[in-house]
Amino acid sequence: QVHVVESGGGLVQPGGSLRLSCAASGFTLDDYAIGWYRQAPGKERELVATITYGGSTDYVDSVEGRFTISRDNAKNTVSLQMNSLKPEDSAVYYCNAKRFWVGRRYDYWGQGTQVTVSS
């Protein structure tokens, strides 16, 4: 069975750091393009960071230079290191694994992890 599970969220003060982790079971994350999304109350879900099969990364402007997405293939995880956190970073963060293979699309989501940045 396929599962994606996010962890590492919590409450942190402005300027602090958190490291989110996306773990998969039933498939290998290294075969997938991974995206971290976030959704704040009353707002649309937003793509925050991506990492391709080849390791290329991209970030939304609002987190560029503060967030880093990376793979740990040995652990079958993808992390999102978040530094210099701001209150506007508060949201539920979701991990998405996506792949097109032999004419079929594979698209898996986790249940999300809450990040709250507040003093």
Tell me the chain's radius of gyration from C-alpha atoms. 14
Which residues make Cβ contacts (< 8 Å) with residue 74, sequence separation at least 6?
none
Tens digit of each residue's pLDDT, the chain (119 residues): 899 999 999 999 999 999 999 999 999 999 999 999 999 999 999 999 999 988 999 999 999 999 999 999 899 999 999 999 999 999 999 999 999 999 999 999 999 999 999 99
According to DSSP, residue 32 is labeled S
